[in-house]
Chains A and B, each alone.
Chain A
Amino acid sequence: DTEVTQTPKHLVMGMTNKKSLKCEQHMGHRAMYWYKQKAKKPPELMFVYSYEKLSINESVPSRFSPECPNSSLLNLHLHALQPEDSALYLCASSQDLKDYTFGSGTRLTVV
């Protein structure tokens, strides 16, 4: 299995809702990432987990809460988001500092 699987593919949520994005990989990669991508812009790093521990938080607002339950799973919990948080959220994994694999993303719309 050489894929990163993200669910759901699309999500529409209200500003008072709580939802979660899920990411799964079975390549044995020890690092997992969350990126946010706005239209016509490059992906921007949000969080890095290394060996299931949060190693990098790029000053992301607390309404985004990452969780790494085990080495194959990565979640992003969302609460009280704003319309400007609407974007494509990408999960990625890597074994070392090369050869990152990205998922297809979750298209999030906050209404």
Chain B
Amino acid sequence: TQLLEQSPQFLSIQEGENLTVYCNSSSVFSSLQWYRQEPGEGPVLLVTVVTGGEVKKLKRLTFQFGDARKDSSLHITAAQPGDTGLYLCAGVLNDYKLSFGAGTTVTVRA
């Protein structure tokens, strides 16, 4: 059973369109992270959210942490082909175990 439910599993959009990826859980997390992973490489940390209700922006990427610290979303505005990749949310409970969602494969077509 996945601790973090991530949706959708796949997203294919045209360059310039917007997209949102969701990450939900019944557990409360001390922090939640979003990663992007290219094939054959390790995940690269995009952002860490810690405070309930927190919103962080990274250029065209907007990350939101739910008020109850159980869910998060990643929104990309005006997607570009360079945004193509596997997006993973991951949460930390109260130990050192970082648990990943199943991932969302995003393809941005030129």
- Is the CB–CB distance between A48 and B41 below 8 Å? no
- Is the CB–CB distance between A105 and B31 below 8 Å? no
Count of B residues near A, CB < 8 Å?
26
- Chain A nearest Cβ from B108, distance in angstroms: 18
B97: contacting residue among A41, A45, A105, CB under 8 A = A45
**Which chain A residues (51-67) contact chain B, with CB distance < 8 Å?**
55-56
Interface of A is mostly: strand
Please measure, in the bound complex, the distance between the C-alpha atom of A97 and the C-alpha atom of B40, giving whole angstroms.
25
B100: contacting residue among A31, A42, A56, CB under 8 A = A42
**Which chain A residues (14-59) contact chain B, with CB distance < 8 Å?**
31, 33, 40-45, 48, 50, 55-56
- Is the CB–CB distance between A103 and B97 below 8 Å? no
Interface centre among A42, A43, A97 (most CB of B within 10 A): A42
Interface presence of B50 (CB below 8 A): yes
